[in-house]
Copies of this chain bind each other. A is one copy, B any other.
Amino acid sequence: MLGNVSDYLSSHLAEIEAASERIRPYVRWTPALATDLDSRLVLKPECLQVTGSFKVRGAFNAILRLRDRKPHTRGVIAVSSGNHAQAVALAARTNGLPAVILIPADSNPAKIAATRALGAEVITEGVTGENREALLKQTSEERGFDVIHPFDDWDIIHGQGTAAQELLHDRPDVRTIVAPVGGGGLISGAVLAAKARDAGIRVFGVEPELASDAAASLHSKQRQSLGTPPNTIADGVRTPAIGQRSFEVLVEHALLDDAVTVSEAEIEAAVLIAWERLKLALEPTGALSLAAYLTGKLGPVAEPVGLILSGGNFDRALVARILSQAS
């Protein structure tokens, strides 16, 4: 079933390069930053990306591809309580398409408001973490809208892969790449972009200890799922399992070097260090790769080390607490 790895990588790299061209007018080529904190690090600050996270890369790629394949699509629909919601809302509006986003009713009101501000129709009533997939299917059928999956979709994965692609373009000397893992879209894109370029570049995924399904899947070689949504402060990676496509890339093709886990305290410490030393306002999920590096959990790594800092849509009260405790 699995073909030649070199052909597999080449064909995915071509898709990532096409995605990069496709989304160029709509997203930012974020800078590769050096930092006083550690001269071995190269930062890819996706907190500076449009909507404050990497998610627009995949959302624009998926919606632009959808318009090519299906010019008369009636609209798009997605489920998300976070960064994917805003990304889909913006990409849909930019393409003149209506968007419906299902957000569980107990989600952060600020994120709901931000998604509405981008022109999407937000449905929260009766939406729960448990029924949202069923509601998504039902609503997409009623409306005749196309679903934009947050991670388990090749167009999404290729779009997210442009972050690592840009990093390696700007800093071809990078030997290690570290990125957070939720559903696996970002890390799969990074793995494909990096290994297609040079099989010697090492790529690590990072998860909270409370949400270590990717590490469990990698080590057991079975796709593992968390029973209940994990209560980690890294709310961008609460997804209970990686997608089928990410399982194929990371585990079946064994392209991920390792998945490491960090504690809640280690994530908080990394958020504080990011703000004070990197001068970047990160959300906890955005600080996962930094946490893994700083705790030494990656082991000895080839340098320079590229850290993908995935987003900056933090909760104000949370960061105030972290800063206050440290004062």
* A positions within 8 Å CB-CB of B: 28, 31, 33-36, 45, 47-48, 50-52, 275-276, 278-282, 312, 314, 316-317, 319-320, 323-324, 326-327
Contacts and interface: CB of A to CB of B under 8 A. Distances in A.
Given A316-B323, A316-B326, A317-B327, 19 more contacts: A28-B34, A31-B33, A35-B48, A36-B51, A36-B52, A275-B281, A276-B316, A279-B280, A279-B282, A280-B280, A280-B281, A281-B281, A316-B327, A317-B323, A317-B324, A320-B323, A320-B324, A320-B327, A324-B324
A18 to B, nearest CB: 24
B312 A319 contact: no
A326 B317 CA distance: 8
Contacts of A47: 279
Given A279-B48, A317-B327, A31 B34 contact: no
A320 B280 CA distance: 15
A323 to B, nearest CB: 4
A48 B31 CA distance: 11
Contact of A52 (B34, B279, B312, B317): B279
A116 B227 CA distance: 51
A36 to B, nearest CB: 6
Contacts of A33: 31, 48
A41 to B, nearest CB: 13
A219 B327 CA distance: 41
Contacts of A316: 276, 323, 326-327
13 contacts: A28-B34, A31-B31, A31-B33, A48-B279, A279-B280, A279-B281, A280-B281, A281-B281, A316-B323, A316-B326, A317-B323, A317-B327, A320-B323
